[in-house]
Amino acid sequence: MIKLNQALCLFWTPQRGWHREMSTLYLLNGKIVHIGNGGPTRFEKEFSCKGLIVLPGLIDSQVHFREPGLTHKEDLFTGTQAALLGGITGVFEMPNTLPPTTTLNAYEEKLSFAKDRAWTNYAFFTGGAKENLDHIAKLEALPNSPGVKVFMGSSFGTLLLDQDQDLVTLLKNTQHRVTFHCEDENILQHNKSQLPPNPHVSLHPQWRSVNSALSATLKIAKIAKSLNRQIHILHVTSQDEAEALKEFKPWVTFEVLPQHLTLHAPDCYQRLGTLAQQNPPIRELNHQKALWDAVTQGLVTTLGSDHAPHTLEEKAKPYPQSPSGMPGVQTLVSIMLNHVNAHKLTLERFTELMTLGVVKAFKLKNKGLIAPNYDADLTLIDIEKEHVIKNSQMVSKSAWTPFNDMKVKGKPISTYIGGQLCMQEDEIVIDKPSGQPMWFDKS
């Protein structure tokens, strides 16, 4: 039994919504067993939460940890270590590994890689591809998977579905929410052919254009509506998409990233070069403002890091041979708490995007709330703590961050996973990884 004293908790109830309340938490056998006065009188450990705010355990619902096949960039051990130090208690990992997670064997192999090596809880998306459409229902039904992820624009290997009939077949052969990366492959190929010789990375938003993202987003949203199916769109980047998706709220949930809420073109490409290169790209300020409007208006459902690390050597290749993607799982919480302190959103809204929004979209079991019988996954933050983000702090194999030298206010201080104190004051305080697979309601 663990007792957490002087805990200013962020609770959610149907009657009151999100609200803050000073309370005492009791944790036992991985669960929250009692809240408030009159709790058990015997406990093994007692911790003071004075000066901190206790959030439900934060979940990063989009990470790429590169295992198997690309482990020189990252693996499940180092990726979840970065997540834990960043205040994250659970991650959803993406299927674009080598081999891709498009078969039962590949999925089970990932589970075996994560066993006793993951510092946080974890779940693995499976990938939609032409060769698995006839048995995609079995893959989406896997109990430790958030579901199927589909790339509509260039990825690698067989992870590409861009033909209307294939997308219709996919949604007809599934029943749970399907997740999409939305860029139009034909437009991408055309735009790339129009790039000048030796282009600068600042042209990345022209290659991966707003029109490309909007075209794919509208295509899959219209198909979902016609079939009355639920879908989730990752990393929406433009004003055009945010406006268009208002029409599809009954069928479509969507995500935004801290990068698109914090960095903007052309400044980021001038300062960071190819380190700012990702897909879909970071765009101009008018798009960033529209994304913030979507966040504050309640249109956005989830917030993920899209942690997609590459080595500095890979990033130093001339554009467009340089790979797209950047690390982010260790900095996500601090970056967004800084935005909370800048009054761009409330702490309650931030928490919802990384807890209850994820739970509702993907039917995640026993997570996302501070409530009796829920899993005792907690993120404790100091909303006033100022610190400077540094490359040297990053434990990802890539060893860099686009936010290097950025001064921020607000920091994750501790994490409890399954009722166990796992991280405190930038230190991992458990002897070995103890993350467990997360479970989803597939009924």
Instruction: Please write the tens of the pLDDT for every residue from 224-262.
Output: 999 999 999 999 999 999 999 999 999 999 999 999 999
Bridge-partner residues for 9, per DSSP? 21, 54
Q: What is the pLDDT of residues 172-226, one digit of tens each?
A: 999 999 999 999 999 999 999 999 999 999 999 999 999 999 999 999 999 999 9
- Considering the domain 2-54+371-390+405-428, what is its CATH architecture? Roll (2.30)
Query: Which helix (H) or strand (E) element contains residue 28?
Result: strand 17-28
**Range(s) within the chain of domains with CATH label 3.20.20.140:** 58-362
Residue whose structure tokens are 């659970």: 90
Model pLDDT, residue 207? 97
What pLDDT was estimated at residue 89? Answer: 98
Contacts of 348 (CB under 8 A, 6+ apart): 10, 17, 18, 19
Sign of the torsion formed by the C-alpha atoms of 149, 155, 158 and 163:
positive
- CA 171/CA 147 separation, integer angstroms: 12
Length of the chain: 443
Distance CA 138, CA 141 (A): 5
pLDDT at residue 281 in the model: 98
Considering only the top CATH level, what class is 58-362?
alpha beta
Q: Which residue ranges of the chain lie beneath pLDDT 50?
A: none
Stretch(es) of the chain classified as CATH 2.30.40.10:
2-54+371-390+405-428
Distance CA 209, CA 421 (A): 44
Residues 6+ apart with CB under 8 A from 267: none
Residues 6+ apart with CB under 8 A from 16: none
Pairing of strands 126-127, 148-151: parallel
pLDDT at 43: 86
Cα–Cα distance for residue pair 432/326, rounded to 1 Å: 27
- Cα–Cα nearest to 369, from 122, 52, 58: 58
Contact 60, 329 (CB under 8 A): yes
Q: Alpha-carbon Rg of the chain, whole angstroms? A: 21
- Concatenate the DSSP letters of all residues of 140-197 into one string: HT-TT---EEEESS--STT----SHHHHHHHHHT--S-EEEE---HHHHHHHHHTSPS
